[in-house]
A and B are shown apart, each in its own frame.
Chain A
Amino acid sequence: MTRYILKRLGVALIVLFGITVIDFFIMTLAGNPVEILSGGPKVSEAMLAQRAENLGLNKPVYVQYVNWLNAVLHGDFGYSYKTYEPVSQMIRARLAPTLILMGTSLALSLVIAVSAGIYAAVHRRSAGDYAVVTGAFLGQSVPQFFLALVLIAVFSVNLGWLPSSGIRKLGSAGSGVQFRYLILPCLVLAFGMAGSNIRYIRSAMLEILNKDYLRTARGKGLGRTLVIWKHALRNALIPIITVIGMEIPGLFGGSIIIEQMFGWQGLGLMTMNAILGRDYPVIMAMCLISAVVVLAANLITDILYAVADPTVRLE
């Protein structure tokens, strides 16, 4: 087991190294940030050169890469080109709203996907099953931004029930996220994720329900509810773990667009602004962090897999 984990960890580290290289070179390919930084005719050549030197941009690319990597390993992502704040500080300030949004939507989508998926599998070919599968298709096919527009139009603009933007009432005491503000973005994110996972859970459950040990359990005269809750659900743990692992990258991507649309002051909005403003240190930090999270999620999924299912071969 330890060997298996170490091996997976080694592979993940190699992939991570590759990601830092790709990450860095895409950014240098993007053009010279000094020009973008100080566009405008009043800036003299000498000032630009001075600026480039201060930022270390006049050195060869590979030297810049090594310097950057070295700094990153020490937890230093550099300074934002726009706000001159340290990037790590910017990230820390916006982490909580994003974690709250991602956490609640992940939990909500899991509740929806697991219950609907199991219901559909147990009541296979019933009207309820078809309704669930159709709903799942819809969830998969509606662009998140369009769903967000519809919800804002209905609940914020026309009914006036829920706020359409921000994480809290302006001027209210405290600094946390307010629940009313969380509802709409959380619903949008959860709906899309649940849509793509219901069918996965359903087919995994169908497979489990057809296994011999379940037939045996039924044959022994155990009631349907007991069979499903005690025997089948335990085995459904593996597909559920898989689903969580698969949702992590989507969560990051989804939160970029959704945070932008709902003015949710988290990492996604920060990333979007950085992308629009070509704020490279911020973009690179976010690419790297999301890649680390995705890799870690994959790694943990693999390990949990091996724990939950002893038949997984540990090469």
Chain B
Amino acid sequence: MEESYIRSVARRFSYHKAGMVSLAVVILIAAAALLAPVIAPYGYEDIVGGISQPPGPGHLLGTDGIGRDMFSRLLYGTRTSLFVGLAATLLSTAVGVVLGLVAGYFGGIWDMILMRFTDMVMSFPYILLVLVASVIFKPGMWNIILILGFVDWTGVARLVRGNVLAVKDENYVQAARLAGMPRRHLLFSEILPNVIAPVLVFATSVMALSILDEAALSFLGMGVQPPDPSLGNLLNGAQSLTVLGSMPWLWLAPGLTIVLLVVCVNFVGDALRDAVDPTTMR
């Protein structure tokens, strides 16, 4: 039964052409990022060539302002950005699932407190909250993960709460409750499996958002700190008009990588949504 559900989701997913192509691209980028130490011709901190050399043989994407190989930095930067995106998504999804489960299942005063708290977090413009937090805590990769993770759980929490409310009174949950099953079993074995699919779909958009936010923060100098590369801080140099106008290799490639990555993650999410819920109207 379980197997056939997953198989039917996979089948419907495979019908979604854009989704399949995007999945392949995401896997390709992830593999390149993961294998950065193997693929990259140079280390990301090594000064290996002339200053700001345009792309050519030897340096596929040219060199940056102090003579580091841009292609190698791009690979390592993608690695950092993907990791931040993934870790922040895992964290915020976990926080959101737990809070949503508690609010939806226990209801009453807990629901009230948690949902009002969710409203409060949601009322701060997201990026303002992230920016303020990134100044308070020293910028750096792990802090970015924690900040994004602890700010972006509100959507998941609301989603899970809504789904829990919908299934809580279903017969099979009532039956398990009447059979005297412990609360742990009700929450994690009866209710949670029913909310996993929508959460998974939602998580892809959280991931896309996290990658975008890391990029913006690092671009502004409040995220991953140089010399460690990330897709965002690789674009730092583009804040000078000379670089922007006449040295496109210093900022175009990382920017396009972000766009490609986020577009593909979004398409995968879209295909997943259709695959999980065949009734949605297209």
Residues of A within 8 A of B (CB): 11, 14-16, 18-19, 22, 26, 29-31, 124-125, 137-138, 140-146, 149-150, 152-153, 156-158, 164, 203, 206-207, 210, 249-250, 252-254, 256-257, 260, 271-272, 275-276, 278, 283, 286-287, 290-291, 294-295, 298
Contact = CB atoms under 8 A, between A and B. Distances in A.
Given A143-B212, A149-B244, A157-B241, A254 B136 contact: no
Contacts of A278: 135
Contact of B262 (A14, A141, A145): A141
Given A141-B208, A153-B248, A275-B135, A19 B235 contact: no
Query: Majority SS of interface residues in chain B?
Result: helix
B243 to A, nearest CB: 9
Given A18-B117, A137-B263, A256 B135 contact: no
Query: Majority SS of interface residues in chain A?
Result: helix
Contacts of A164: 241
A15 B119 contact: yes
A290 B132 contact: no
Interface residues of B, number: 39
A290 B124 contact: yes
Given A142-B259, A153-B244, A158-B245, A137 B267 contact: yes
B76 interface: no
Given A15-B116, A149-B235, A256 B128 contact: yes
Nearest to B280: A203
Interface of B: 116-117, 119-120, 122-128, 131-133, 135-136, 208, 212, 215-216, 219-220, 235, 238, 241, 244-245, 248, 251, 255, 258-259, 262-263, 266-267, 270, 281-282
A59 B166 CA distance: 49
Contacts, number: 126
B245 A283 contact: no
A146 B120 contact: no
A272 B120 CA distance: 22
A26 B124 CA distance: 13
B42 to A, nearest CB: 25
Nearest to B244: A153
Contact of A291 (B124, B235, B248): B124
10 contacts: A15-B123, A31-B136, A143-B219, A145-B215, A153-B238, A153-B244, A153-B245, A249-B125, A252-B125, A253-B127
